[in-house]
């Protein structure tokens, strides 16, 4: 990174006009002291951050455009006139039918994903020590937690779509339970639309992450990385996995807390 | 990497002991911040101040995940800025458009009132 790129050979070096350039970004170097693959993963994650940033920004704009509930917490009821309070919508827990446990299940999902991030870092750390057995162990735990998160999200969607026991009286006089893309019992139509869109995009990322982790596990077992001499692939997939966790942290804040 | 590497040379075939203290420490920090967020969810009235607290705590969590788990804190400075500056601009984007959204909502709700 010390020498600059020469764009035009000067008169003195005319004899070397065809010589290859040797600047930092001219190939054969590691700019930012990171390998090609790692740097490209960082740049990809930055672009994905723009994508999710755009989604959450759109959510923020739309949400604040809608009316706000202005009564007491006790008197709250669903209506398409205002955006619902999240802890009134997301208060179910699998297996505990009828109990009012606001945000409890989504808190569990957050912990599952953070835990999967921990096991992922542990896998990367094991890779640094060329410890194949530990890499396999931690990769399996990460895959398990990732799958648990996906299953939890599937349950959450099912419950959201099927709705609460008590339906909501809609403008056309019917009582609606649950949600679809056109209308939902909790609030304005865009509430459900944005829920499906943003958590759906995130869930797809988690799913692709799990697929990549499964492939990593297979490659580790086959000795691909031992032969290569380094486990950098685990590190790169780890970056993707942490990004997925990070997006969830933001989605969780914007959708369920704010 | 200097912060986490083992410096001892090992005999051929032996594997170094895990160096994981920093990983679990960061985990507990994240759990702690999430717990604090939940305290605010249930014991503070909704409003702009509460939302700002959530966003600050979330950015704090992001700092730990990106800095430690993704190792960015230990990378070359220019890579850190390459990632952080565009993300800071995204934060501005969110704040700006949430403000726009509120304004649009206000205009629409007053448009047809007397």
Interface pTM, i.e. ipTM: 0.84
Q: What local confidence, expressed as pLDDT, does residue B7 receive?
A: 46
Size of interface A-B (CB pairs under 8 A): 135
Query: Per the structure block, which two tokens stand in for B29?
Result: 């920090």
Judging contacts by C-beta atoms under 8 Å, the chain B residues touching residue A63 are 98, 101
- A258, B97: Cβ pair inside 8 Å? no
Q: Which residues of A touch B61 (CB under 8 A)?
A: 249
pLDDT tens digits along A40-55: 999 999 999 999 999 9
pLDDT score at A20: 82
Q: What residue of B is the nearest CA neighbor of A126?
A: B18
A109 contacts A149 by C-beta, under 8 angstroms: yes
Closest chain A residue to the Cα of B50, Cα to Cα: A258
- The Cβ of residue A60 has, within 10 Å, a number of other Cβ atoms equal to 22
For A19, other C-beta atoms within 10 Å of its C-beta total 10
pLDDT band at A71 (very low <50, low <70, confident <90, very high): confident
Confidence at A173, pLDDT banded by 50, 70, 90? confident
Question: How does residue B1 score in pLDDT terms, banded at 50, 70 and 90?
Answer: very low
User: For A93, how many CA atoms within 13 A lie in the half-sphere containing its CB?
Assistant: 11
Percentage of residues of chain A with pLDDT beyond 90: 58
Residue from the list B27, B34, B101 with its beta carbon closest to the beta carbon of A65? B101
Tokens of B42: 């249930």
Token pair 């740049």 in the structure block, residue: A43
User: Are B90 and A246 a contacting pair at CB < 8 A?
Assistant: no
Contact list, A239 vs chain B (CB under 8 Å): 70
| Contact present, A43 and B81 (Cβ < 8 Å) | no
Distance from CA of B114 to the nearest CA of A (A): 18
Q: How confident is the model at residue B105 (pLDDT cuts 50, 70, 90)?
A: confident
Rounded distance between C-alpha atoms, residue A193 and residue A232, angstroms: 39
Give the Å distances, CA to CA, from B33 to B38, B59, B60: 9, 11, 8
Residue A31 has phi, psi (to 5 degrees) of: -60, 150
- Residue A13: predicted pLDDT: 53
Give A-chain residues touching B62 at CB under 8 angstroms.
246, 249-250
Element (H, E) at B77: helix B77-111
Contact between A78 and B30 under an 8 Å Cβ cutoff? The reply is no
Cα–Cα dist A108/A93, whole Å: 10
Q: Is the pLDDT of residue A7 over 80?
A: no
The pLDDT score that the predictor gives to residue A58 is: 92
Cross-chain residue pair A246–B93, CB shorter than 8 Å: no
Give contacts of A243 with chain B, Cβ < 8 Å.
70
Distance CA A139, CA A241 (A): 11
Q: Considering only CB atoms, which chain B residues are within 8 Å of A107?
A: 34, 38
Quote the pLDDT of residue A4.
Answer: 56
Tens-place pLDDT, residues A132-141: 999 999 999 9
- To test the contact with chain B by mutation, choose from A45, A65, A128 the residue with the greatest count of B C-beta atoms within 10 A, namely A65
CB distance B98–A60 less than 8 Å? Answer: yes
In terms of Cα–Cα distance, which of A248, A60, A52 is closest to B94? A60
Q: Averaged over B61-70, what is the pLDDT?
A: 91
Chain B residues within 8 A of A109 when measuring between CB atoms:
none
Alpha helices in chain A (DSSP H): 36-65, 86-89, 104-128, 132-162, 189-221, 224-228, 232-252
**CA A252/CA A244 separation, integer angstroms:** 12
At residue A97 the predicted structure's pLDDT band, cuts being 50, 70 and 90, is: confident
Give all domains of chain A, ordered by start, each with its CATH number.
1-33 (no CATH), 35-257 (1.20.120.80)
Q: Which residue has the tokens 């202005």?
A: A70
Substitution target from A49, A60, A81, A102 for chain B, most B beta carbons within 10 A:
A60
Q: Is the pLDDT of residue B111 over 80?
A: yes
pLDDT of residue B102 exceeding 60 = yes
Q: Shortest CA distance to A100 belongs to which of A86, A85, A110, A90?
A: A90
Instruction: Report yes or no: B101 and A61 within 8 Å, Cβ to Cβ.
Output: yes
State which residue of chain B sits closest to A30, comparing Cα positions: B76
pLDDT at site A191: 93
């Amino acid at each position: 990174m010390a020498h600059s790129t020469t764009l035009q050979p000067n008169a003195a070096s005319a004899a070397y006009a065809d010589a290859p350039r040797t600047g930092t970004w001219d190939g054969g170097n590691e700019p930012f002291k990171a390998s090609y693959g790692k740097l490209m993963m960082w740049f990809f994650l930055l672009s994905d951050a723009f994508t999710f940033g755009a989604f959450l920004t759109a959510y923020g704009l739309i949400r604040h455009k809608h009316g706000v509930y202005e009564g007491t917490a006790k008197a709250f009821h669903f209506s398409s006139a205002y955006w619902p309070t999240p802890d009134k919508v997301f208060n179910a827990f699998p297996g505990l039918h009828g109990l009012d446990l606001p945000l409890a299940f989504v808190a569990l999902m957050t912990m599952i994903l953070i835990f999967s991030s921990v096991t992922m870092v542990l896998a990367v750390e094991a890779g640094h020590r060329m410890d194949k057995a530990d890499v396999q162990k931690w990769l399996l735990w990460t895959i398990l937690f990732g799958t648990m998160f996906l299953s939890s999200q599937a349950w959450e969607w099912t419950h959201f779509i099927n709705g609460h026991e008590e339906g909501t009286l809609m403008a056309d006089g019917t009582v609606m339970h649950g949600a679809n893309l056109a209308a939902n019992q909790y609030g304005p139509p865009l509430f459900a639309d944005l829920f499906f869109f943003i958590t759906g995009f995130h869930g797809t990322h988690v799913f692709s992450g799990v697929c990549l982790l499964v492939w990593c596990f297979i490659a580790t077992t086959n000795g691909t990385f031992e032969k290569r001499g380094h486990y950098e692939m685990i590190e790169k997939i780890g970056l993707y996995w942490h990004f997925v966790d990070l997006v969830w942290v933001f989605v969780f804040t914007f959708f369920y807390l704010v | 990497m200097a912060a986490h590497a083992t410096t001892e040379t090992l005999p051929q075939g032996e594997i170094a002991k895990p160096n994981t203290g920093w990983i679990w420490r960061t985990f507990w920090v994240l759990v702690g911040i999430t717990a604090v967020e939940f305290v605010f969810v249930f014991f503070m009235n909704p409003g702009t101040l509460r939302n700002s607290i959530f966003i600050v705590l979330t950015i704090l969590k992001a700092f730990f995940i990106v800095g430690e788990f993704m190792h960015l804190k230990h990378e070359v400075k220019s890579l850190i800025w390459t990632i952080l500056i565009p993300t800071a601009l995204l934060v501005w984007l969110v704040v700006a458009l949430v403000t726009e959204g509120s304004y649009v909502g206000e205009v629409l709700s007053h448009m047809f009132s007397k």
